[in-house]
Amino acid sequence: MGVMRIGHVSLKVMDMAAAVSHYENVVGMTKTMEDKHGNVYLKCWDEWDKFSLQLKKADAAGMDHVAYKVEHDADLDELKKRIEAYGIKTKMLAEGTLPATGRMLQFKMPSGHDMRLYAMKECVGTAVGSVNPDPWPDGLKGAGAKWLDHVALVCELNPGTGVNTVADNCKFFKECLGFHLGEQGLVGPGGAIQAVAFMFRTTKPHDIAFLGGPTPGIHHASFFLDSWEEVLKAADVMAKKKVKIDLPPTRHGITRGQTVYFFDPSGNRNETFAGLGYLAQPDRPVSTWTEDSLWRGILFHSGEPYPAFTEVYT
């Protein structure tokens, strides 16, 4: 019962045609529908629900909202009670508020990010079907991403004023939504400040990440690949298509991911990564990265600061 996994992310884009082309031809998703407002919906080939990405036309970049899927419809009522008892207001959005999607419980994370929970989304099946399925479909484009894996959100952190919405989100996700902390970065005197937190509900190292910053935003939306070879190929695709690569193929210490980062045509950061890292379990000891090694956690090979990676986001 409760939250199962990330369901979709809604990204704001300033040029819809360019955005659709990017997510189809670079990330390798497939457009599944378009609504009356002109928003476009896409899915990855190994996902079975109708969409995992909503592209929303806007005059700014960034994340509109992120949604996680719960197992049973009744979970929404239970979670509504729990979230409200925690002191956070919620709103139940009627079925059809998003196409092909059931009712959604909407609320704001302590960091201010708009979050939704839902139980129903139209199941259209994976690209290889469910009867004697092939391991991969023909005709994949670009990186050929398998699924939307997680989002990393920049959350306001200002030790000077005592504001730390990384820690606030971590507490809320743990106590209300049943997430577990997999890894964290502790900084400041005595490591008293939780500056980054990676949390999971599934069995992989993260289903959401919170990163401290001056203002809230989205650091990246991440898509899963099978192997290091596919990460390299994804970077080749980006170079061929003149997509701005933010961080060339490398490894994270945190989560052990093998990764490449890039920007969509509105400047929203994307990641394609491989490697499920380890089996994430509620009783697994939390991995802690200390301030002097936090960059090693982010860029395992160099271990050195790359400020643009943390300072540039939408």
Site of interaction with other proteins (CB under 8 A): 14-15, 59-62, 157-160, 185, 187-189, 193, 195-196, 211-215, 239, 242, 244, 246, 263-269, 291-295, 298, 304-305, 307-308, 310-314
8-state DSSP, 189: G
- For residue 134, what are its two tokens? 């092939």
Question: Quick check: is 41 catalytic?
Answer: no
Measured from the CB atom, the residue of 60 and 123 that comes closer to other proteins is 60
CA distances (Å), origin 248, targets 45, 208, 254? 24, 22, 17
Shortest distance in whole angstroms from residue 245 CB to other proteins: 9
Q: How far is the CB of 119 from other proteins (least distance, A)?
A: 32
Unique residue bearing structure tokens 């994804």? 234
Active site residue 206: yes
φ/ψ of 195, rounded to 5, equals -95, -25
- The DSSP output letter for 216 is -
Strand pairing category for 180-187 and 104-108: unpaired
Q: Which of 22, 156, 252, 313 is catalytic?
A: 252
Closest to other proteins by CB, 7 vs 297, is: 297
219 assigned to active site: no
Active-site entry in 23, 206, 219, 313: 206
Instruction: List Cα–Cα distances, 249 to 99, 260, 299, in angstroms.
Output: 36, 5, 10
The rounded distance, in Å, linking the Cα atoms of 72 and 79 is 11
Out of 65, 113, 150, 219, pick the active-site residue.
150
Is residue 220 annotated as part of the catalytic site, yes or no?
Answer: yes
Distance CA 116, CA 37 (A): 20
Q: Which of 47, 156, 230, 271 is catalytic?
A: 271
The residue among 15 and 95 lying less far from other proteins, judged by its C-beta, is 15
- Catalytic residue of the set 22, 220, 230, 313: 220
Give dist(CA 223, CA 147) in Å, integer: 6
Select from 264, 238, 267 the least CA-distant residue to 42: 264
Shortest gap between Cβ of 68 and other proteins (angstroms)?
A: 25
153 has which bridge partners?
A: 210, 218
Judged by beta carbon, residue 146 or residue 220, the one nearer other proteins is 220
Closest separation in Å from C-beta 295 to other proteins:
6
Instruction: Please identify, using beta-carbon distances, which residue of 156 and 207 lies nearer to other proteins.
Output: 156
Q: Which residues belong to the active site?
A: 150, 206, 220, 252, 261, 271
